[in-house]
Amino acid sequence: MQLKRVISLSILTVLLTSACKSAQSSNDKLEEAAARGRAAYKEYKTADYQTAKAALLDNIKFQDQLAASEPGFTNMCNEDAMLDYLRLAKLEQKNKGPDEARYMAEAISRCEKGSVKDKGNSCSADALRAMVDKVDTIPAK
């Protein structure tokens, strides 16, 4: 009986330790996502066209990788990537770049398959432009 108890406690300890490590790993990934998002946004607002574009594309790549590795983050990553695609479309328009339509189409696609649309928002190009313009007026923390 005592041996069963020791084995049960050992298994419980291993499971709890594993769960704590997993939770810490998730927190670390969320913190990294937030930091990368802030950095990409800063570049978008302050850097030259090529630097800003590269920062946004890099953040989208990170968001996609994070969503693939952490299914619980899929909606958050999709929304962040959608905002970055909208910013890329605006950047292309402002700088007469060739990819404005492609980036807007990707933003619309992400909107249509994500929680933004589920919240009753329109996924039209005009509605999304208005949304990112509004989001971009919120002061950064």
Is 0.85 topped by the overall pTM? Answer: no
What mean pLDDT comes out for the span 5-34? 63
Higher pLDDT, 117 or 40: 40
Give the DSSP H or E segment for 14: helix 2-46
pLDDT (average), residues 110-114: 87
Residue ranges per domain, the chain?
A: 2-135
Sign of CA dihedral 62, 67, 70, 74: positive
Task: Say which residues have a Cβ less than 8 Å from residue 93's Cβ, sequence separation at least 6.
Answer: 100
Q: Quick one: pLDDT at residue 140? A: 66
pLDDT higher than 80, residue 100: yes
**pLDDT average, residue stretch 96-119:** 88
104-138: b (≥16 Cβ within 10 Å) or e: bebbbebbeebebeeeeeebebeebbebbeeeeee
Residue 113: the pLDDT is 85
The pLDDT tens digits for 30-89 are: 899 999 999 999 999 999 999 999 999 999 999 999 999 999 999 999 999 999 999 999
Is 16's pLDDT higher than 70? no
| pLDDT at residue 102, as a whole number | 98
